[in-house]
């Protein structure tokens, strides 16, 4: 258990102690392996935690290392990903695993050179695998910071990078939520929260992009086409020209004559 230093900001110390006592247990929190953290972070992008757990466990059972994933055919990777949505993430994860397996991990400040790894995921690898004192900034973290630390983050104590980062994830997901913050229902940071004191919690919340409906959407059509492609290896482009063009643009398929194929098929 990480214990805060005596000089630590009181709110930060409270956050660390609260997480040590009440932090959620997820399979990706039982490892500090960079590859496992990368898999979890990519799966968690745009997908709820509860849905990700069985996918993460199945994925790690099947491909426990970057080199194991690198050796897998793309069709298998896309097949196992089915149901998580946004399959471009799987394609990028596969490409990243190949890069890592062939050349090793990039330097810390060049993690974003891996396919599909942006500043958030790079920071998450540093924080959740390496324990570095960096806060991966997603919408949850941005919201908690805006509400509870409007003067800026007071600083992460030595050795507490992982615990602080995970505590922020729990707090933002289950307590300091966008629409129903639990300020008066046991929030560990209620004491000293000026937004809650002033009744301005929702007002200081950064705006969030709305996600469009899936049923009947273009995303759904793309999903249908990719599922067929993964199962059959090839489909006629005119089955859905627009969706086919989108899959090609995302590197998930290629056009060969009048057919759509997976990028790796001969």
Give me the 186-215 binding string for ligand SF4, x by CB under 6 A, dash otherwise.
-x-xx--x-xx----x--------------
174-181, Cβ contacts within 8 angstroms, sequence gap of 24 or more: 174/24, 176/140, 176/143, 176/144, 176/147, 176/148, 178/139, 178/143, 178/205, 178/208, 181/147
Q: Is 182 among the residues that bind ligand SF4 (CB under 6 A)?
A: yes
- The Cα–Cα gap between 77 and 72 comes to 7
Tell the smallest beta-carbon distance from residue 146 to ligand SF4 (Å).
9
Angle at 171 between CA 169 and CA 177, to 5 degrees: 105
Tell the smallest beta-carbon distance from residue 8 to ligand SF4 (Å).
17
- The Cα–Cα gap between 26 and 50 comes to 9
Tell the smallest beta-carbon distance from residue 232 to ligand SF4 (Å).
49
For residue 39, give both structure tokens: 């898999």
Q: Is 19 among the residues that bind ligand SF4 (CB under 6 A)?
A: no
Q: Select the residue interacting with ligand SF4 from 96, 123, 160, 183 (CB under 6 A).
A: 183
- Compute how many other C-beta atoms are within 10 angstroms of the C-beta atom of residue 194: 13
Choice between 19 and 86, CB closer to ligand SF4: 19
Tell the smallest beta-carbon distance from residue 26 to ligand SF4 (Å).
21
Choice between 74 and 174, CB closer to ligand SF4: 174
The interface region with ligand SF4, picked from 2-10, 77-85, 159-167, 173-181 by CB under 6 A, is 173-181
Q: Is 243 among the residues that bind ligand SF4 (CB under 6 A)?
A: no
- The Cα–Cα gap between 21 and 135 comes to 21
**Where would I find the beta strands (DSSP E) of 166-206?**
none
Judged by CB under 6 A, the number of residues near ligand SF4 is 14
Q: Does 242 participate in catalysis according to the annotation? A: no
Choice between 94 and 148, CB closer to ligand SF4: 148
Query: Could you say which of 41, 184, 228, 242 is catalytic?
Result: 41
Nearest CA to 172 out of 10, 23, 2, 1 is that of: 23
The alpha carbons of the chain give a radius of gyration, in whole angstroms, of 21
Footprint of ligand SF4 on this chain (CB under 6 A)? 147-148, 175-176, 181-183, 187, 189-190, 193, 195-196, 201
């Amino acid at each position: 258990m990480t214990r805060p230093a005596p000089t630590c900001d009181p709110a930060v110390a409270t956050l660390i102690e609260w997480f040590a006592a009440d932090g959620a247990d997820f399979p990706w929190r039982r490892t500090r392996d960079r590859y496992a953290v990368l898999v979890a972070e990519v799966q968690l992008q745009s997908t709820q935690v509860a849905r990700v757990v069985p996918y993460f466990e199945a994925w790690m059972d099947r491909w426990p290392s970057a080199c194991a994933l690198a050796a897998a055919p793309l069709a298998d990777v896309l097949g196992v990903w089915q149901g998580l949505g946004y399959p471009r993430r799987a394609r990028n994860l596969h490409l990243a695993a190949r890069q890592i397996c062939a050349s090793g991990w990039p330097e810390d400040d060049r993690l974003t050179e891996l396919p599909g790894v942006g500043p958030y995921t790079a920071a998450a690898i540093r924080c959740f695998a390496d324990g570095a004192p960096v806060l991966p900034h997603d919408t949850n973290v941005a919201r908690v910071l805006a509400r509870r630390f409007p003067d800026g983050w007071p600083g992460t104590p030595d050795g507490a990078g992982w615990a602080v980062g995970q505590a922020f994830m729990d707090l933002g997901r289950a307590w300091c939520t966008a629409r129903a913050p639990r300020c008066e229902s046991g929030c560990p940071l209620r004491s000293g929260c000026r937004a809650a004191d002033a009744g301005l919690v929702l007002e200081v919340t950064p705006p969030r992009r709305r996600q469009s409906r899936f049923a009947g959407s273009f995303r759904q059509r793309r999903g249908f086409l990719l599922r067929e492609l993964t199962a059959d290896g090839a489909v006629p482009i005119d089955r859905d020209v627009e969706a086919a063009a989108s899959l090609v643009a995302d590197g998930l398929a290629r056009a060969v004559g009048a057919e759509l194929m997976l990028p790796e098929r001969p």
